[in-house]
């Protein structure tokens, strides 16, 4: 039986993904067929309604793992993303251990948590409810984002929370929280990321990072970061169109 995405992630395999924000099954299908290990489905900043999220997952989640970045730490978006069949969730702005503990409660079934049980796509619309509930805790990936200086300050406590599988660094929001908007190469921002890196690696917590370009995440590939996401669908589309136009003009 093939390894689940969570098994691959926890084993330390390097997993390459890109960010999907356009509410289109066609765009998701194109990206899935490109060969990425996973798709970062952005329901926080992207204009994805729940029906659009369901369409995307219906189209591609059986061919490529989809981790959904939920729009908040509230119960409903977490429950919906998992019930729709996401391989896991990425939760933004997790700045304290208590926040991480609550997220575990919302995303893991008892006895590890208190996730609500409902009939939805993930359980075959209820036809496979018992086996799904029995295995979901083992197959659902839970990643919290360290993207605020408060998360950096509290990272030792966050990584000790049982049920958290990984930490994904958000350099852009982190820089903004430090009064250094967009200066992701500033020494203070780099030092903050270094601190998260050291603490996570000491705790054997898996690490990920987002970058707009592959070059921006390249330094972290050799530092033990394994959940790597580069590019945004809108930017890839825009750059591709601009390059094509330039070629047509030349």
Active site residues: 45
Q: Residue 150 contacts by C-beta under 8 Å, 6 or more apart in sequence?
A: 95, 96, 177
DSSP codes, 30-61: HHHHHT-SEEEEETTTS---HHHHHHHHHHHT
Other Cβ atoms closer than 10 A to 172: 16
Chain centre to alpha carbon of residue 23: 17
Q: What angle do CA 106, 110, 115 make, to 5 degrees?
A: 25
Identify the burial level of 13 via C-beta atoms within 10 angstroms of its C-beta, where 0-12 means exposed, 13-18 middle and 19 or more buried. Answer: middle
Helix axes 25-34 and 50-60, enclosed angle (nearest 10): 30
What SS3 class is residue 183? coil
Provide the CB-side half-sphere exposure for 119 (13 A, CA).
3
């Amino acid at each position: 039986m093939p390894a689940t995405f969570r098994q691959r992630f926890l084993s330390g395999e390097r997993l390459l993904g890109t960010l999907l924000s356009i509410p289109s099954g066609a765009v998701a299908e194109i990206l899935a067929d490109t060969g990425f290990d996973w798709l970062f489905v952005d329901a926080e900043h992207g204009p994805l309604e729940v029906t659009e999220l369901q369409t995307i997952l219906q189209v591609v989640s059986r061919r490529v793992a989809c981790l959904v970045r939920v729009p908040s730490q509230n119960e409903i978006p977490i429950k919906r993303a998992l019930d729709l069949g996401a391989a896991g969730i990425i939760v933004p702005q997790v700045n304290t251990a208590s926040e991480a503990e609550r997220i575990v409660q919302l995303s893991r079934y008892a006895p590890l948590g208190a996730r609500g049980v409902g009939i939805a796509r993930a359980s075959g619309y209820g036809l496979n409810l018992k086996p799904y509930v029995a295995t979901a805790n083992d197959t659902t990936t839970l990643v919290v984002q360290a993207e605020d200086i408060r998360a950096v300050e509290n990272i030792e406590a966050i990584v000790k929370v049982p049920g958290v599988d990984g930490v994904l660094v958000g350099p852009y929001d982190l820089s903004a929280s430090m009064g250094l908007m967009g200066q992701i190469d500033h020494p203070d921002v780099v030092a903050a990321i270094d601190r998260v890196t050291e603490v996570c690696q000491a705790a054997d917590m898996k690490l990920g990072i987002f970058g707009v370009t592959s070059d921006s995440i390249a330094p972290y590939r050799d530092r033990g970061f394994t959940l790597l996401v580069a590019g945004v669908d809108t930017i890839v589309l825009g750059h591709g169109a601009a390059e094509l136009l330039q070629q047509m003009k030349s």
